[in-house]
Amino acid sequence: MLNETNLTVGAVADRCGVKVSTLHFYEEKGLIQSWRNSGNQRRYKRDVIRRISIIKAAQKMGITLEEIKIAFAKLPENRTPTKTDWKRLSSAWQRQLNQRIAYMERLRDSLSGCIGCGCMSLKNCPIHNPDDAMNLKGNGPVILDGRHK
């Protein structure tokens, strides 16, 4: 069935490892497209498999569906990303992923110490934030957010 030019909803869902409702959701969000045959049944072009795979890969990296939609919208005629397109998309997403990793490392490393929140309630706060000087750097946990430098 996967050799057919136009695939059924069930065939695409099966091949991509998603539920049919997920395909409907992606379509509702404008991430994929289908068309209706003469029997009013939803059909997909084969290249939708690549789009869905990219969506799933991006989501695993923490990229939102809105960010994915914006990236897809930059492709000429809303085409399915090519290998070159994927390289460009994944490069941009890699920068975001690296930022998230750095944030998570700061979170991990500060779990037992001061995060620069201004509470001044920790007895062993290495910053000792007198007069809440960290407030000048912004609200919330400025050390954790990397805004203390």
> Is residue 126 over pLDDT 60?
no
Task: Count H helices and E strands in the chain, helices first.
Answer: 5, 3
Q: What average pLDDT score do residues 7-14 get? A: 95
Angstrom distances, CA of residue 106 to CA of 2, 25, 103, 142, 145: 46, 35, 5, 11, 8
Per-residue pLDDT band for 20 (boundaries 50, 70, 90) equals very high
Answer whether CATH 1.10.1660.10 is correct for domain 6-109.
yes
Residue type, 35: W
Name the percent of the chain lying above pLDDT 70: 77
Q: Record the pTM.
A: 0.67
**Comparing C-alpha atoms, which of 29, 98, 34, 19 is closest to residue 67?**
29
* Domain-wise residue ranges, the chain: 6-109, 113-149
